[in-house]
Amino acid sequence: MSQAGTLPNGLVAVVKRDCETCATVVPVLQSLAESAGLVVYTQDDVAFPVAADWVIDDTDLVVSWHNDIETVPTLIRVEDGVEVERIVGWSAEQWRAFTSQESLGEGLPDFRPGCGSLSVDPTIAPGLAIAFGGSGLHARRVEFASLEDDVEAMFDRGWTDGLPVVPPTEERVMRMLEGTTRDGTEVVAVVPPNLAEVTVEKVAINAVMAGCKPEYLPVVLACVEAICTDEFNMHGVLATTMAVGPVFVVNGPIRKKLEMNSGMNALGHGTRANSTIPRAVQLLVRNVGGGYPGGVDRSAQGNPGKIGLLIAEDEEGSPWTSYSQDNGFDEGVSTVTAFCSEGPHTFVDQISRTPESLTKHLASMLRHSNTPRQVMGMDAMVVISPEHMQRYADAGWSKERFREELDKHLAIEIDDIIRGVDGIDEGMPDAFAGATLQKFRPGGLQIVHAGGPAGLFSSILSGWLTGHMGSVPVTREITA
Amino acid sequence: MTIVLDPTSEAAPVERARSPRPESLAGLTVGLLNISKPRGDVFLDQLESRLGELGAKVNRYAKPTFAKPAPVDLRHEIAASCDAVIEALAD
């Protein structure tokens, strides 16, 4: 029995009616059929170029797909069941040399480019790949009953974060995988808490469910790599009873390419890339890692950012170095940083017109990050809005100057916050009495710029236990 | 019918956990699934009459063949419309 798509010996052409070049060469095809036994496979109309026994129906595209036809017309020579030569499009010179017929196509134009084969049409190709076994997808197939609603079926199986997800059909997952050059079988990371190996394909499945576009996939992959590290400690981030989860900051040209929002509502909803990329990561932690709320995720209260929170820094609107430059990456490199946080709360200052006043006020709020009664143990991120940033730009303050001034106001007299002082039991242990300590460890304060043009409000995102005991921010380059 | 790719680590079977065993069958709908072996119907007829005495409503189902698993649509129909199911093997 011959294999699917096997071509007969001799001259073979593949054409479609919906192609001007194919229509142009109809007389040539007829002539070659009579003189050289040409067989023609037709992709879209069994009566094209004519209804004849040398015209074969390939409307199911079996022959086209198995022979990697990318252009019509394609002319192929087959000897002993093996293709030995092919040309595409119409070139009188090439066709004459190919067929050794010097007067072939007289009266036709010398050259016409071919058209795209239906077998590589982006709306058709994924289905063909599945039908003919070339999808290369390895994940277990799960069949829903015809009376089951797809979206309800995904809820029933416990695969969602409480919001509907997009069913990860083979076609959608194949399209998603086109967003990366990495092989679907490549292991990306080992996902806590169950320490399950996750492949590019599994990441793609969860990215489909989250609503990502294929071009988002490299960012999702970088996010997964960032959180599945000892430094980020995703297991601890899940298991803590605090309300934290991963927050992602994206830098570099990928922000524009994916139309991420760095402006109005930058920390909120309404932009597909910002919302779906972190959601894909959280779905993956749930579905692959087994990090279920109420299971290993022991958060007492949680926070809405755990659905997925991603901040694209407004680098262009800032006079300062970017957050990824702070983390050691060159300008122009796309990165994502995972930071463990409870999510944003607002810092209000509508009166300060000098950087000195604004910085002192901001520091007074940062002294209360997580609790005013503890120091050094937890990081924080400040997302400075454009209007607040303008104060620093106008005064010519660099990021370094800002940090130095802020640090001055973040030196804490521990005697003021010792356990029991002011009638509050929470506080620093007696062993630290008399000391002056910084609120944050060196490098513990993350500074990012984002937001809409108007509004004298910035945000503080308080962290969780930092250092090797907890979680430190992890940056990964976004590649392909 | 939709076929999707499993988003999980595939460490657990696709089938979902069974519902808790009911305390009583009174007022519940019980599916009787005949796997289509000979005399399964005799056994299930007897069960239907006993279940009726217990106050249960009975729905009858049959697999197309005992040699293959129940089709996914049949499983879904039973799950959607019954509180409990009794599957009959017989010969």
Q: What is the model's pLDDT at position A3?
A: 67
Mutation target for A interface from B1, B3, B4, B9: give the one with most A CBs within 10 A: B4
* Joined tokens for residue A380: 């924080």
Q: Taking the CB of residue A192, how many other CB atoms lie within 10 A of it?
A: 24
E strand or H helix at A331: none
Nearest CB neighbour to A150, from listed B2, B6, B72: B2
Across the range B65-76, mean pLDDT stands at 83
Q: What is the model's pLDDT at position B66?
A: 79
Rounded to a whole number of angstroms, the distance from the CA of A141 to the nearest CA of chain B is: 5
- Domains located in chain A, CATH noted: 10-122 (3.40.30.10), 153-477 (no CATH)
The region that residue A325 occupies, defined by phi over 0 for left and psi between -120 and 50 for alpha, beta otherwise, is alpha
B7 and A167 within 8 Å at the Cβ level: the answer is no
Nearest CB neighbour to B3, from listed A141, A147, A209: A141
Rounded to a whole number of angstroms, the distance from the CA of B15 to the nearest CA of chain A is: 9
Rounded to the nearest 10°, the torsion over CA B38, B39, B43, B44 is 60
Residue A168: which residues within 8 A CB-CB, separation 6 or more?
Answer: A205, A206, A208, A209, B4, B5, B7
DSSP structure string for A6-74: PPPSEEEEEE-SS-HHHHHTHHHHHHHHHHH--EEEESS-TTSS-SSTTEEE-TT-HHHHHTT--EESE
Q: What is the model's pLDDT at position B15?
A: 64
Strand pairing category for A90-91 and A111-112: antiparallel
Largest CA distance in chain A: 104
d(CA B78, CA B24): 19
Residue A315 is given by DSSP the state -
- CB-based burial label for A420 (10 Å; 0-12, 13-18, 19+): exposed
Closest CA to A427 of A370, A360, A350: A370
Nearest CB neighbour to A140, from listed B2, B10, B80: B10
d(CA B64, CA B36): 7
Rounded to a whole number of angstroms, the distance from the CA of A456 to the nearest CA of chain B is: 43
CB contacts of A141 in chain B (<8 Å) are 3-6
Q: What is the model's pLDDT at position A289?
A: 95
Per the listing, tokens 């003189």 go with: A35
Closest CA to A364 of A411, A396, A402, A400: A411
Largest CA distance in chain B: 46
Q: What is the model's pLDDT at position A407?
A: 97
- Cα separations (Å) of A70 from A115, A258, A292, A335? 9, 29, 46, 36
Instruction: Mark which residues 32-61 of B lie under 8 Å from A by CB.
Output: none
Q: Check: CB of residue A312 under 8 Å from CB of residue A450.
A: yes
d(CA A222, CA A248): 10
A168 and B7 within 8 Å at the Cβ level: the answer is yes
* Joined tokens for residue B22: 């009911």
Mutation target for A interface from B1, B8, B73, B74: give the one with most A CBs within 10 A: B8
Q: Check: CB of residue B36 under 8 Å from CB of residue B83.
A: no
A140 and B5 within 8 Å at the Cβ level: the answer is yes
Q: Does B3 touch chain A (CB under 8 A)?
A: yes
- Cα separations (Å) of B35 from A199, B29, B44? 40, 19, 11
B5 and A150 within 8 Å at the Cβ level: the answer is no
Sheet with A445-449, side-by-side order of all strands: A344-348, A457-465, A378-384, A445-449
d(CA A127, CA A119): 10
Nearest CB neighbour to A196, from listed B4, B9, B16: B9
E strand or H helix at A335: strand A335-341
3-state secondary structure of A112: strand
Residue A71: which residues within 8 A CB-CB, separation 6 or more?
Answer: A88, A89, A114, A115, A116, A117
Rounded to a whole number of angstroms, the distance from the CA of A443 to the nearest CA of chain B is: 36
Residue B69: which residues within 8 A CB-CB, separation 6 or more?
Answer: none
DSSP structure string for A374-430: --SSEEEEEEE-HHHHHHHHHHT--HHHHHHHHHHHTEEEGGGGBTTGGG-S-SB-G
Residue A339: which residues within 8 A CB-CB, separation 6 or more?
Answer: A246, A247, A248, A249, A379, A381, A446, A461, A463, A473
Q: At A471, which amino acid appears?
A: S
B73 and A145 within 8 Å at the Cβ level: the answer is yes
B7 and A206 within 8 Å at the Cβ level: the answer is yes
State pLDDT tens for residues A26-54: 999 999 999 999 999 999 999 999 999 99
The pLDDT profile of chain A, 480 residues, written as one tens digit per residue, is 346 788 999 999 999 999 999 999 999 999 999 999 999 999 999 999 999 999 999 999 999 999 999 999 999 999 999 999 999 999 999 999 999 999 999 999 999 999 999 999 988 887 888 788 667 899 999 999 988 999 999 999 999 999 999 999 999 999 999 999 999 999 999 999 999 999 999 999 999 999 999 999 999 999 999 999 999 999 999 999 999 999 999 999 999 999 999 999 999 999 999 999 999 999 999 999 999 999 999 999 999 999 999 999 999 999 999 999 999 999 999 999 999 999 999 999 999 999 999 999 999 999 999 999 999 999 999 999 999 999 999 999 999 999 999 999 999 999 999 999 999 999 999 999 999 999 999 999 999 999 999 999 999 999 999 988 899 999 999 998
* Joined tokens for residue B32: 């009787």
Q: What is the model's pLDDT at position A1?
A: 35
Which residue does chain A place closest to B14, by CA atoms? A142
Nearest CB neighbour to B5, from listed A145, A157, A205: A205
State pLDDT tens for residues A387-416: 999 999 999 999 999 999 999 999 999 999
Instruction: Name the pTM for this structure.
Output: 0.77
Rounded to a whole number of angstroms, the distance from the CA of B50 to the nearest CA of chain A is: 31
End-to-end Cα separation, chain A, in angstroms = 42
